[in-house]
Amino acid sequence: MRAHPAPAATAERPVESPAATEAILLVGGKGTRLRPLTMHTPKPMVPAAGVPFLTHQLARAAAAGVEHVVLATSYLAEVFEPHFGDGSALGLHLEYVTETEPLGTGGAIRNVAHRLHSAPGDPVLVLNGDILTGLDIPALVGTHRATGADISLHLTKVPDPRAFGLVPTDPDGRVTAFLEKPQTPEEIVTDQINAGCYVFTRSVIDTIPAGRPVSVERETFPDLLAAGAHLQGMVDSTYWLDLGTPHAFVRGSADLVLGRAPSPAVPGQCGDHLVLPGARVADDAKLSGGTCVSAGAVIGSGARVVGSTVLAGATVEPGAVVRDSLVGTGAVIGARTIIEGAVIGDGAHVGPDNELRDGVRVWCGARIPAAAIRFSSDQ
């Protein structure tokens, strides 16, 4: 069937694009829950599926029609611009604004407002730098335009919402309340949570107080709601993951490699594993479960790496087993050592015949002698 051309725009019937052409990306957090991964690297720059996590967010924004992104930086702010430059490699125009003191989510948004070019009534996309999602960004912007909202929020449903902020809505999707981290059954009135992606009407950003810490979750959104502003929720239950913990970050990277989490920035074909150019993997080593092996890393004979991330220059020696873990830059996992659900910091050395499990974190540069730690018998 031949498509019919869209009617030309007229003064009486303008044609609006559903795209938001500008975005703010909040990348200033210290990532303390991710240590030791974030000792030398800001959270958005920790590699996931072979590239800094921020690359996935920027690529998805560009694919959704965004042209101009302002990065709100703070912790280790100096590492962003040398890597991404002006953003032209991603088809974007990037600018960087650094907070001299932490300003919170709302304060960070207000602090970069002077770099935006949008008209007062235009939509501005706001993304948190630690959320991996398959959100239909144009649909959220389209909902924002269609409803005439002041702010629109991506909402997702979770089985246990106690660790999140609940966002109940009326039958039309209009937000009725913000309930931060409820604990009692009576407080859990919905399974809808704030998923960390917003569309602001540009003029609303200027109402956020300048020069002081402001939380959009605890101050901006509730205050606007109380003042009668229109806050719209859009439930999108595609892939969503908060990468705030090491376990979640490793899982997110594996899901990107496996293709469960969508991203145009994965540097290779999605599948059971991803080996970047310059890595060396023994012929009899086994990689599976979304494992990513970065450039310069070495996987020894008979080693098994499952659902894990092995960063640049790291070594997994012969016979070692690494499962659901992250091995930092330049780290060494000794022969026959078992690593499960662990984070091994940059430059750490875990000697042969160790067994590290259950969320253990080995700090950057630490050295664990051979056969020093076990969770089971050595027989």
pLDDT single digits (tens) 309-335: 999 999 999 999 999 999 999 999 999
**Residues 48-87: tens digit of each pLDDT:** 999 999 999 999 999 999 999 999 998 888 899 999 999 9
Distance CA 374, CA 372 (A): 7
Q: What was the pLDDT predicted at 213? A: 92
Nearest to 347 by CA among 29, 116, 26, 41: 41
Distance CA 3, CA 231 (A): 36
Nearest to 292 by CA among 337, 318, 258: 258
Nearest to 175 by CA among 96, 118, 234: 234
Query: What tokens were used for 58?
Result: 């920027």
- Is residue 181 annotated as part of the catalytic site, yes or no? yes
Task: For the chain, give the percent of residues with pLDDT over 90.
Answer: 74
Residues 6+ apart with CB under 8 A from 255: 132, 239, 241, 261, 290
pTM, two decimal places: 0.88
Averaged pLDDT, 341-353: 96
Q: What was the pLDDT predicted at 379? A: 53
Distance CA 186, CA 258 (A): 39
In this predicted structure, the answer to whether residue 90 has a pLDDT above a threshold of 70 is yes
Query: What is the side-by-side strand order in the sheet with 355-356?
Result: 286-288, 304-306, 321-323, 338-340, 355-356
The residue ranking higher by pLDDT, 194 or 163, is 194
Residues 6+ apart with CB under 8 A from 342: 325, 326, 356, 357, 359, 360, 361, 362
Q: Where on the phi/psi map is residue 31: left (φ > 0), alpha (ψ -120 to 50), or beta?
A: left
Question: Which of 30, 43, 157, 181 does the annotation list as catalytic?
Answer: 181
Nearest to 221 by CA among 239, 207, 236: 207
Task: Name the average pLDDT for the chain.
Answer: 90
